[in-house]
C-alpha cells in the first residue's frame, strides 16, 4: 500500500527567505539600473550612488544587529531560522561581489563615458601646470587650515574615527621636531570639506572638470609632515553600528534622552572597513586591529571609498540630455478649477498620485487651513519632512496666529531624528501642541486633519497618504494621497489622533484598520475571506503592492489562500520573505519588483471581496514592526470611481510592465520579466504620459 507524502506545514523555516540576503538582492537590482545602458548616463551614476547609500544603512543597521546576535550567542529570531553567523558569512560574500561590480562599472564604463561627454575626474598624473597651481592654492587656502594630522605615539593614541568619515592612514619615515619616530599618522578629513571639487572652467580642459578631495590630500600630504618622508598615504572609511538605543519605558523625557544618544551614533562598534586597494598589507592589518574587525569585514576598493559623494555631480552638470527628461506634475481638474480646496473636497473625495501629480495641493491644504479664519484646528503627523519644510513653517505660523495646532512628531524616525527634534522645538516655541507618540510604538501613520467652522457647525477634512509629508521626496517617490471629508473616516482619523495625544482605551473605528490594534487582523481576515471564496468555487483575487513582505503569519495566510486557488499578485519593491511558485504551496502567487526612475513607495491592497472590489491605502508594509510596533493606518477607498482608478493606475500597470519589472523565483532570485514580442511597456513612463504635463519650454 502506497503512502501519500506528508504535506509540509506552511510555517516551516524552509518556506521563508532570509531578510538580509533579500535586501542585498534588492540592491543588486538597483545596481543593474546603473549598469543598464538604456538609462541616461548621469542617472546611471545616481543609481550607483544609491546602491552605496543603501549599503551604508544596511551595514549600519542590519549587519550591526547581526554582529550583536553573534556576540550574544542566541539563536536566530527570524522565520527562516538561518543562524546569524551563517547569515553574516553569506552577507559578506554577496556584499563583496556587489561592491566589486560597483567599482568595475564605475572605472570601466561610467567614468570613460562621462569623460567622452566632457565630464572628467582628473587624476594627479593628468594635472596640467595650471591645474596643479590652482589645486595647490586651493589646498593651502581651503583644506590645510582645517586639517589636524595626528601622529601615533604613547601620547597620541589612535583617534576616535567618525562613522563613514574620510580618513587617511599615513606611513612616515624620519624624525619630527621633537625627535619622535612614530612612523604612522592619521589625517581626518573634516566633513565641512567637499569630497568632489569642481575646477574653474578656464583650466579644467573640458566642459566639466572635477578633482577628488582624496587626490588633493594625497598630492599634498607631505605639507602636513615637515622634514619627514611620506612612504604611503591610504584613504579609509569605517562604518559603525548606528542603531540608537533609548529605553523608552525608563526615560522621563524622550527628546532629551535622544539628544544625548545621537552623538554616540558616530562612534558605535565598527562593522565594516573600506580601504584603497593600494593600501599596504601592514597598514591593513593595523587598521583591522584598531577597529576590532576581521578579513571578512574588509573591502578593498579601486577608487573613492565613499561613492555616495558623487550623488551631487549630476546637479552640477547642465546636461539635460544625460538625465531623465523633465516634467511638470499634473493637477486634478477638481483642484485646478477652484481656489478653495475645502469646497473642492466637499464636492467629492480627491486622489493624488505622486509624483505624476503635484504635491502642491497638499501644501495648499495646510496653507489655506493656516490662513482661513474659519479653521479652528489643525492636526498632523510628522515622520520624515526634511531639514527645510514649507509645511512645518506653515504649521508654526498657524500656531503663532492662535490656531489649535497639534503635531505628532516621531523622534525615532531613523536618520531623521535630529531634524525632527529641531522641528519639535520650533513648534513648541510657537505654541503648538507637540507630542512624540506612544512609548515603544513609532508613529508611522500619514494623516493631516483640519477642523473648520461652517454654517455654525464644525466640519472635519482629512488627508491620508501612503507617503511622508516631505516636499522633496514627493517628487521622487510614488505615493497615493486621499482628500476626504467623509464624516466616518474623519472621525476615525480624529480618534487615532486622540489615542496618540491622550490616554484611554482604543475606540472602535468605523472604516480604518489601525496598527497595532486591527490592521494585522484586518489583513488576515481579508486574505482568509478570499480563500473561502475560492474554496466555494467563486472568483477570488488579491493584488497587493508594498515595499517589504516579511511577517510570517501573513505569509502563511497567503500560502493557504494560494492552496485554496486564490490568484495572488504581489508587487514588492524590496525584500520579500515569501517563496512564490512553489508547487503545492504557492503555485498561484506571483511576486514582482518594479525599479525605475522613481522609488516605488505606495502601499495599496486590493481584494475581490465577493465582487465588492475593496481597495485600501496604507502607511504600512506587511512586516512585524508595522503590524505590532508602530502606529499605522489603512484606509478604504469608498468612492467606486477612485477604486477603479487606483487599480487602473497603481496596480495593473505594475502587472503589465515588461521593461522595469523583475520576477521573483522560489529561491529568492530575480530576473527581468521577459518581453518576448510584446511592445515595451513601462508603468512609470505610461503614468508620466497619462497624469503629468510636459516640461515647460525655456523662454
Mean pLDDT of all residues in 162-188? 83
**Predicted confidence band at 416 (pLDDT cuts at 50, 70, 90)?**
low
The pLDDT of residue 118: 97
Judge whether 587 and 562 are in contact, CB under 8 Å: yes
- The torsion region of residue 455 among left (phi > 0), alpha (psi -120 to 50) and beta comes to left
So what's the pLDDT on residue 178?
A: 56
Per-residue pLDDT, 257: 44
Q: Give 570's contacts (C-beta < 8 A, 6+ positions apart).
A: 543, 544, 545, 546, 549, 558, 576, 578, 580, 589, 590, 591, 592
| Residue 55 pLDDT greater than 50, yes or no | yes
Mean pLDDT of the chain: 90
**What gap in Å lies between CA 102 and CA 306, rounded to an integer?**
12
Residue 611 scores a pLDDT above 50:
yes
In this predicted model, what pLDDT tens digit does every residue of 254-294 receive, in sequence order?
Answer: 445 444 444 554 568 999 999 999 999 999 999 999 999 99
* Per-residue pLDDT tens digits for 557-572: 999 999 999 999 999 9
Q: Is 266 labeled as catalytic in the residue annotation?
A: no
Please check whether residue 245 is in contact with residue 219, taking contact to mean a CB–CB distance below 8 angstroms: no
Q: Give the DSSP per-residue string, 404-472.
A: EEEEEE-TTSTT-HHHHHHHHHHHHHHT-EEE--BTTBEE---EEEEEEEETTEEEEEEEEESS-S-TT
pLDDT at residue 156 above 90? no
Cβ(76)–Cβ(338) under 8 Å?
Answer: no
Alpha-carbon radius of gyration of the chain? 28
Q: Are strands 208-212 and 119-121 parallel, antiparallel or unpaired?
A: parallel
Q: Considering the chain, what percentage of its residues have pLDDT values greater than 70?
A: 92
pLDDT at 410 exceeding the cut of 90:
no
DSSP state of 18: -
Q: pLDDT at position 674, please?
A: 85
What's the predicted TM-score (pTM) here? 0.91
Could you say which of 353, 354, 441, 444 is catalytic? 444
Q: What is the pLDDT of residue 11?
A: 61
Domains in the chain with CATH codes: 14-322 (3.30.1840.10), 327-503 (3.30.870.10), 514-694 (3.30.870.10)
222-254 pLDDT per residue, tens: 999 988 899 999 999 999 998 744 444 444 444
DSSP 181-196: ---EEEEE--TTS-SE
- In angstroms, rounded to a whole number, what is the distance separating the alpha carbons of residues 449 and 436? 17
Amino acid at each position: 500500500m502506497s503512502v501519500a507524502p506528508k504535506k509540509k506545514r506552511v510555517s516551516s523555516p524552509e518556506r521563508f527567505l532570509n531578510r538580509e540576503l533579500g535586501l542585498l538582492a534588492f540592491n543588486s537590482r538597483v545596481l543593474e539600473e546603473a549598469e543598464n545602458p538604456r538609462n541616461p548616463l548621469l542617472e546611471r551614476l545616481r543609481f550607483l550612488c544609491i546602491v552605496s547609500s543603501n549599503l551604508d544603512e544596511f551595514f549600519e543597521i542590519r549587519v550591526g544587529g547581526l554582529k550583536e546576535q553573534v556576540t550574544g550567542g542566541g539563536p536566530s529570531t527570524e522565520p527562516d531560522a538561518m543562524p546569524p553567523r551563517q547569515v553574516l558569512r553569506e552577507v559578506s560574500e554577496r556584499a563583496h561581489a556587489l561592491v566589486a561590480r560597483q567599482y568595475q562599472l564605475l572605472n570601466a564604463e561610467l567614468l570613460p563615458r562621462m569623460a567622452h561627454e566632457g565630464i572628467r575626474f582628473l587624476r594627479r598624473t593628468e594635472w596640467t601646470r595650471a591645474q596643479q597651481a590652482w589645486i595647490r592654492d586651493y589646498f593651502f587656502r581651503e583644506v590645510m587650515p582645517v586639517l589636524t594630522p595626528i601622529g601615533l605615539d604613547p601620547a597620541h593614541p589612535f583617534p576616535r574615527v567618525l562613522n563613514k568619515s574620510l580618513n587617511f592612514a599615513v606611513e612616515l619615515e624620519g624624525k619630527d621636531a621633537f625627535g619622535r619616530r612614530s612612523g604612522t599618522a592619521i589625517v581626518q578629513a573634516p566633513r565641512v570639506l567637499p569630497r568632489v571639487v569642481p575646477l574653474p572652467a578656464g583650466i579644467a580642459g573640458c566642459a566639466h572638470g572635477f578633482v577628488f578631495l582624496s587626490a588633493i590630500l594625497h598630492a599634498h600630504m607631505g605639507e602636513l609632515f615637515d622634514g619627514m618622508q611620506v612612504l604611503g598615504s591610504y584613504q579609509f572609511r569605517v562604518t559603525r553600528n548606528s542603531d540608537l538605543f533609548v529605553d523608552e519605558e525608563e526615560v522621563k523625557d524622550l527628546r532629551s534622552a535622544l539628544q544625548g544618544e545621537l552623538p554616540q551614533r558616530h562612534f558605535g562598534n565598527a562593522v565594516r572597513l573600506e580601504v584603497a586597494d593600494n593600501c599596504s598589507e601592514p597598514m591593513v592589518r593595523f587598521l583591522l586591529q584598531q577597529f576590532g574587525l576581521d578579513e571578512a569585514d574588509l573591502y578593498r576598493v579601486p577608487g573613492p571609498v565613499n561613492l555616495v559623494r558623487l550623488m551631487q555631480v549630476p546637479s552640477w552638470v547642465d546636461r539635460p540630455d544625460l538625465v531623465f527628461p523633465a516634467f511638470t506634475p499634473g493637477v486634478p481638474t477638481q483642484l485646478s478649477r477652484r481656489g478653495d480646496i475645502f469646497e473642492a473636497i466637499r464636492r467629492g473625495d480627491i486622489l493624488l498620485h505622486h509624483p505624476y501629480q503635484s504635491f502642491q495641493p497638499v501644501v495648499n491644504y495646510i496653507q489655506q487651513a493656516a490662513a482661513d479664519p474659519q479653521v479652528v484646528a489643525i492636526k498632523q503627523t510628522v515622520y520624515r519632512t526634511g531639514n527645510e519644510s514649507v509645511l512645518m513653517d506653515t504649521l508654526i505660523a498657524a500656531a503663532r496666529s492662535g490656531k489649535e495646532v497639534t503635531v505628532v512628531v516621531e523622534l525615532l524616525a531613523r536618520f531623521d531624528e535630529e531634524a525632527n527634534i529641531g522641528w519639535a522645538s520650533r513648534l513648541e516655541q510657537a505654541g503648538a501642541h507637540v507630542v512624540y507618540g506612544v512609548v515603544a510604538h513609532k508613529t508611522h501613520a500619514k494623516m493631516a486633519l483640519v477642523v473648520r467652522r461652517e454654517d455654525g457647525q464644525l466640519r472635519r477634512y482629512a488627508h491620508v497618504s501612503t507617503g511622508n509629508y516631505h516636499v522633496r521626496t514627493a517628487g521622487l517617490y510614488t505615493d497615493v494621497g486621499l482628500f476626504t471629508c467623509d464624516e466616518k473616516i474623519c472621525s476615525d482619523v480624529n480618534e487615532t489622533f486622540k489615542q496618540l495625544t491622550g490616554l484611554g482605551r482604543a475606540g472602535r473605528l468605523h472604516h480604518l484598520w489601525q496598527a497595532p490594534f486591527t490592521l494585522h487582523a484586518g489583513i488576515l481576515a481579508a486574505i482568509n475571506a478570499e480563500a473561502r471564496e475560492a474554496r466555494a468555487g467563486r472568483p477570488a483575487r488579491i493584488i497587493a503592492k508594498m515595499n517589504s513582505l516579511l511577517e510570517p503569519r501573513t505569509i502563511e495566510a497567503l500560502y493557504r489562500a494560494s492552496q485554496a486557488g486564490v490568484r495572488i499578485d504581489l508587487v514588492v519593491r524590496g525584500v520579500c520573505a515569501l517563496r512564490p511558485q512553489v508547487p503545492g504551496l504557492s503555485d498561484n502567487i506571483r511576486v514582482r519588483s518594479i525599479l525605475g526612475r522613481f522609488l516605488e513607495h505606495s502601499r495599496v491592497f486590493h481584494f475581490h471581496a465577493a465582487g465588492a472590489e475593496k481597495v485600501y491605502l496604507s502607511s504600512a508594509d506587511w512586516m512585524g514592526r508595522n503590524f505590532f510596533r508602530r502606529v499605522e493606518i489603512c484606509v478604504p477607498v469608498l468612492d467606486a470611481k477612485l477604486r477603479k482608478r487606483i487599480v487602473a493606475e497603481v496596480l495593473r500597470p505594475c502587472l503589465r510592465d515588461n521593461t522595469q519589472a523583475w520576477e521573483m523565483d522560489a529561491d529568492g532570485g530575480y530576473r527581468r520579466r521577459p518581453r518576448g514580442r510584446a511592445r515595451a511597456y513601462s508603468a512609470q513612463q505610461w503614468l508620466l504620459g497619462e497624469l503629468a504635463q510636459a516640461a515647460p519650454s525655456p523662454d
